[in-house]
Amino acid sequence: MDTITLKSGRDASLRRRHPWIFSGAIARVQGSPQSGASVRVNSDKGEFLGIGGYSPHSQIRVRMYAFDDVDFDADYQRHLVAAAVARRQQVFTQGQRTAYRLIYGEADGLPGLVVDRYNDFLVCQFLFAGVERHKESLVKALMSETGCRNVYERSDSAVREKEGLRPLCGSLAGEPPPSLVEVEQGGLILMANLLEGHKTGLYLDQVENQRQVGALCGGKTVLNCFAYTGGFSLTALAAGAAEVTSVDVSAPALAMATDHVRRNSLDPSRHSSVEGSVFDVLRNYQREERCFDVIVLDPPKFAENKSQVMKAARAYKDLALQAARLIAPGGLLVNFSCSGAIDLNLFQKITADALLDAGRSGSIIRYLHQPADHPVALNFPESQYLKGLVSLID
């Protein structure tokens, strides 16, 4: 096995078991490791630090598999998959979910691998050269440990380009899933488009937040922005919201949201859809002097990396500012960021500045975050990305 030797003083994070080694931390490479090959990692003094996967095209040059001397072989991969499955069995003791995240990359010891389960269909994203190299054995481990026989690949993320990998989609085992798969999420029925939907079909990281926010919406008028297929809209309606408006730029997504209202036997007269840019819709509503009791802002990722933080901060602030001008006194602003580069303190400051500019004041009554099937590894704070604020607006 080839060896990576770190520069002097660049081993501190690795000794804290942080799993990433950037190219600038490497002093020399002994051997000629191919993309995705396993490598030994040593300190500048020759001390063995662990085993990782090598990615010559990425700034994250090595992602660690283990901090002891193991073989990242089929048996070890099956052990990691089995541990991840066991964790999910522990956390799903309440409520009914037939769709959830089964493998969450570095947080489950499998860097760059994302696996979501929809009933008996597994949908995978291989986002790192190391797991791409071991795709066949990982698929076998997934089938062995879950009993699933259908594994579909949605490795269509732009992240693969940084790994020198081309986008790939298609069946890895069994038949491809149908165009729509019905799943249950906290007592609600949703249709997931595993072949073409966002992410792997649904935003599985908001299920618990949707339930919590919905419980605050009884008798309220609710504006759900970036609604996609209506998750927050459904929980609000199920909790007795007086009126819910779903806003999204995608007409097919809004059509699915309307279908979800019907499938869950919710009152369609209390739900309406608006197709368009959320930024434009919020400004139009101000001109119309509209007012809402609850506004939910759940935008896509605005910052892919630290270089985009300032631009993203302006977008998050503009959204919160425009929404604050539409909220009735005593109403709620529920805003989220899924940008890992935007930490909670910065996001809270952005929201506070937006309220100040809107001439409003508020107080946070609840913090929201990603659910237990998206665990945050203590040694890998980057695994925490989703943050949300529920603010009471004066």
Q: Can you give the residue ranges of every domain in the chain?
A: 2-66, 74-178, 203-393
Q: Tell me, what DSSP letter sits at residue 198? A: S
Q: Tell me how far apart the alpha carbons of residues 93 and 222 are, in angstroms, rounded to a whole number.
A: 30
CA distances to 32, 142, 165 from 129, in Å:
15, 18, 7
CATH fold label, 203-393: Rossmann fold (3.40.50)
CATH superfamily of 2-66: PUA domain (2.30.130.10)
As given in the structure block, the two tokens for residue 380 are 């890998």
Q: Strand 38-42 and strand 2-6: pairing?
A: parallel
The answer to whether 74-178 and 203-393 have equal CATH topology is no
Helix (H, G, I), strand (E, B) or coil at 55: coil
- Identity of residue 122: L
Contact 377, 107 (CB under 8 A): yes
Half-sphere exposure for 16 (CA within 13 Å, toward CB): 11
Q: Please provide the size of the chain in residues.
A: 394
At which residue do the structure tokens 């020759």 appear?
A: 46
If you classify domain 74-178 with CATH, what class do you get? alpha beta
Q: Strand 2-6 and strand 26-30: pairing?
A: antiparallel
In 3D, which of 288, 391, 382, 252 has the Cα closest to residue 334?
391
Which residues have a catalytic role annotated? 338
Per-position pLDDT tens, the chain of length 394: 999 999 999 999 999 999 999 999 999 999 999 999 999 999 999 999 999 999 999 999 999 999 999 999 999 999 999 999 999 988 875 557 899 999 999 999 999 999 999 999 999 999 999 999 999 999 999 999 999 999 999 999 889 999 999 999 999 999 999 989 999 998 899 999 999 998 999 999 999 999 999 999 999 999 999 999 999 999 999 999 999 999 999 999 999 999 999 999 999 999 999 999 999 999 999 999 999 999 999 999 998 888 899 999 999 999 999 999 999 999 999 999 999 999 999 999 999 999 999 999 999 999 999 999 999 999 999 999 999 999 999 9
